[in-house]
Amino acid sequence: MKKKNNKNIYSGNNLKKINKAYNQELKAFVLNKNIRNNKKEIQFLFFEKLLKLFLKFILLCAITRFTWKNRPKIDELVDRAHAKFSSKENSFIPISQAFYFLVSFAPIITMITLLLSFVPGYDQIFLNVILAKIIPGLNQVFKLEIVTNLKSQYISMIILFLTSLWLSSNGYAKFVYTQSYIYNHEKMGNIITNRLRGFFIVLGITLYLFIVILFYIFIYNTFIKYISNPVSQNVFFYITFCLYLPVVSYFGFLFLFKFSPKFKLSWNQINPGVLISTVPMFLFVSIFGLLTSFINYGKYGLIGTFMYVALFVMFFSYFVWLGIIINESYYKTYFSSYTIDKNNFWSRKIKI
């Protein structure tokens, strides 16, 4: 059956009825529009309060008790950080930075694998045990012939290492510029100085990850030979990895936020941002790492691996971005309104 149209049609002689009907329709339209806007506003306020609550919790853990007692300053810090994080003019930064991190991801993994291949069997444990249990399918992508034929291919390894280092340095050169932009540092740098700084940042990240992974594999090899049950081996891996990961993440972000900027920052000035970046990354890697033991991602092939890595890099980029913002707000609220350049060798000698 067809629905009846309850709307009346008025002729031009019934002006009062026409105006009355028009006003009723207008009120109904405005009411519905306000309801829709109120729903969006309620959702926005909910996420805003959730983010501010998270920031306050991290600040409670990161700053001194004396500083925490000054509630107006804390509110000012959180409002400043939230305003920058939700600003439309800055919304493109974490997305573009995620692209550069994604481009840098494969070269860094390649360099770590090459370095681990100097210790017999460690590269295979890294690919088939650690990466396979954290990022599904990635161990198939990084099966390199160059790793299995070390003695006859040193030149190829050096070329691949330097090429990977140079390619990944571009992303961290942008990262250096982003920090200078957020802090409103006077000297933003140029293409050469930022690229060189990015080069050394990637080298530092690679060496740091190589050392911590080398240590973990040593511990893993020491105890795993006493465990024969595959299920027990998986349990041992996830327990030790989840205990080791927050420590590695914390010190990794601590070194990154300390040494990557072009300006001076003390250790206590970057601690809030380090914690804000560490906690979500630890939860993300741990939860998704555990899911790989229950979900067969192999059926999705290379596309599934790429989507997982893209999600990981996007998540990483947003919380690194949030960490920089909270550090900037903390620095500008409690310490100084301007930054002091490090005046290192490259900034003095190379000028464009």
State the pLDDT confidence band at 50, using cuts at 50, 70 and 90.
confident
Query: Whole-angstrom Cα distance, residue 315 to residue 97?
Result: 11
- Would residue 60 count as lying in a domain? no
- Would residue 246 count as lying in a domain? yes
Please give the pLDDT value at position 35.
45
- Would residue 64 count as lying in a domain? no
- Would residue 6 count as lying in a domain? no
Find all residues with CB under 8 Å of 208, minimum gap 6, and list them.
252, 255
User: Of the candidates 103, 118, 173, 121, which has an alpha carbon nearest to the alpha carbon of residue 150?
Assistant: 118
Judge whether 278 and 250 are in contact, CB under 8 Å.
Answer: yes
Query: Whole-angstrom Cα distance, residue 125 to residue 143?
Result: 12
Judge whether 261 and 328 are in contact, CB under 8 Å.
Answer: no
Q: Give the pLDDT confidence of 244-277 residue by residue, as tens digits.
A: 999 999 999 999 999 988 888 888 889 888 988 9
Please give the pLDDT value at position 219.
92
Judge whether 319 and 280 are in contact, CB under 8 Å.
Answer: yes
- Would residue 67 count as lying in a domain? no
Find all residues with CB under 8 Å of 274, minimum gap 6, and list them.
62, 250, 253, 254, 257, 323
Please give the pLDDT value at position 347.
47
Select, from the ranges 43-57, 114-128, 252-266, the one with the highest average predicted confidence (pLDDT): 252-266
CB atoms within 10 A of CB 71: 8
> Average per-residue pLDDT in the chain?
77
Mean pLDDT of 319-345: 82
Please give the pLDDT value at position 344.
55
Q: How many domains does the chain have?
A: 1
Domain, as residue range, for 242: 82-349
Is the pLDDT confidence value at 321 over 60? yes
Query: Whole-angstrom Cα distance, residue 158 to residue 273?
Result: 35
Mean pLDDT of 59-64: 70
Q: Is 9 exposed, middle or buried (0-12, 13-18, 19+ CB in 10 A)?
A: exposed
- Would residue 40 count as lying in a domain? no
User: Of the candidates 174, 198, 171, 2, which has an alpha carbon nearest to the alpha carbon of residue 103?
Assistant: 171
Which has the minimum average pLDDT: 8-22, 62-76, 281-295, 326-340? 8-22
- Would residue 271 count as lying in a domain? yes
Query: Whole-angstrom Cα distance, residue 53 to residue 348?
Result: 43
Show the tokens assigned to 198.
């990015």
In one letter, which amino acid is 26? L
Sign, Cα dihedral of 131, 135, 137, 138: negative
Q: Which residue has the higher pLDDT, 87 or 157?
A: 87
Q: Give the pLDDT confidence of 122-133 residue by residue, as tens digits.
A: 888 898 888 888
Percent of residues in the chain assigned helix, strand, coil, to nearest 5: 80, 0, 20
Judge whether 175 and 94 are in contact, CB under 8 Å.
Answer: no
- Would residue 219 count as lying in a domain? yes
* Distance linking the first and last C-alpha atoms of the chain: 78
Please give the pLDDT value at position 5.
47
Host H or E run for residue 121: none
Which has the minimum average pLDDT: 29-43, 219-233, 242-256? 29-43
